[in-house]
Every structure is written in structure tokens, then in C-alpha cells.
Amino acid sequence: MVSNPVDISKFAVGERFPAPAPQQEGAVMELWHDNLAVIIQFPGLSDAERMAFQVGFKRYAYLETGTSVPIVSWIFNFPSPHNPVDCNFNARVVDRGSIKNYIDPADGVHPNIAFFYLLDGQILRAVKMVGLHDAAVSLFQATIRKQLAANFSQSDYDQSLSELYRYDPRELFRMGRSFKMHGS
């Protein structure tokens, strides 16, 4: 099981990222307490890439595969030079308490906040908080429930994931259900 990282208040731009950082370029999605965290690794980050991250995305897509293991793919359509950033999520490797808080919150209010962390190696370069559409969160929660109810191994998951990655992020975006950011 993946445990929750350090207290979110200890994250500081320009300093070492206080949680495990992806080792290669790309994005990972994790669930910390009851909030989504998208960690984007961009080694050798340029000013233009940092600015594209800070501008943010106007659209994003949610995709659940029809594979034997239901795979989640979120695709966030950042402007160039980032372009679409995709990440998947396997609920079976997440702390059960965090999952329960996310899909069945005690206060009945479903969390729709996602935190984005832009890294250059081990250094945090930017942070962004966005609100996701309730419909997108509901789709995600339904897929999480499907993953938890399904009987599959990590190799089954990896096989289904490999089918998803026959497509590039732009194709995944077109295949998913698209959402427009509030106010865009």
C-alpha cells in the first residue's frame, strides 16, 4: 500500500520535493488523504515549460478503458510546450483509508480538488490547485469502485495498461470524456 506523504504545508517552490518523485519524465497521480495529487516530472525544465504549467489547462479528459482491468486515465491538456499530460491510477495500491475518504467522505461532500506539482528532478518548481467537475469526480469514483471490486493481479493491471499506451496523449484525450475548466 502507498501511504500518504508528508504534510502538504511543507511543500515549498524552489526546494526539494518532500515526497517520492517520479524518476523519469511524465506524470503520476496519487491520492493524498482525500485529494488528488498529480506529480509532473520535467527534467531540465525551461522557463517556457514552467510558464505553460502556470497558465494551466483549459480542458481535460477522463477515460476509463474497456480492458479486462478498468484503467483510469486523466489527460490534462496543458498548452505548448507541455501539451497533453496523461496519468493513470490504480486504486488497489492506495491506502484504503484514503480511498474510503475519497469515494465515501464522512461529511458527504465529494472532494473535487486536484493539486499539481511540477518538478525538475527533485526540486519543486511550481504548484497549481484546480477544481475538477463533479461529473468527472463521479466517473473517477465509479472506476475506483470497479477496480476495488475486480479480482486482478499487478501483471493483469500492467497488461491492460499496456493496451492503453498504444495511444499517444492526444489520442487518449480524444477518446475520453472532455471537460472544460470552470471560467474557461
Q: Is residue 30 part of a domain?
A: yes
User: pLDDT band at residue 80, thresholds of 50, 70 and 90?
Assistant: confident
Domain that holds residue 112: 22-177
Q: What are 122-170's pLDDT values in tens digits?
A: 999 999 999 999 999 999 999 999 999 999 999 999 999 999 889 999 9
Chain segment 17-74, per-residue pLDDT in tens: 998 889 889 999 999 877 899 999 999 999 999 999 999 999 999 999 988 899 999 9
Do residues 116 and 44 make contact, with C-beta atoms less than 8 angstroms apart? Answer: no
Residue 56 lies in a domain: yes
The answer to whether position 160 is within a domain reads: yes
Tell whether 14 is covered by a domain.
Answer: no
Number of domain units in the chain = 1
Burial (Cβ within 10 Å: 0-12, 13-18, ≥19) of residue 159: middle
Measured from the Cβ of residue 37, the count of other Cβ atoms closer than 10 Å reads: 20
Residue matched to cell numbers 517520479: 22
Does residue 86 carry a pLDDT above 50?
A: yes
Q: What is the pLDDT of residue 3?
A: 43
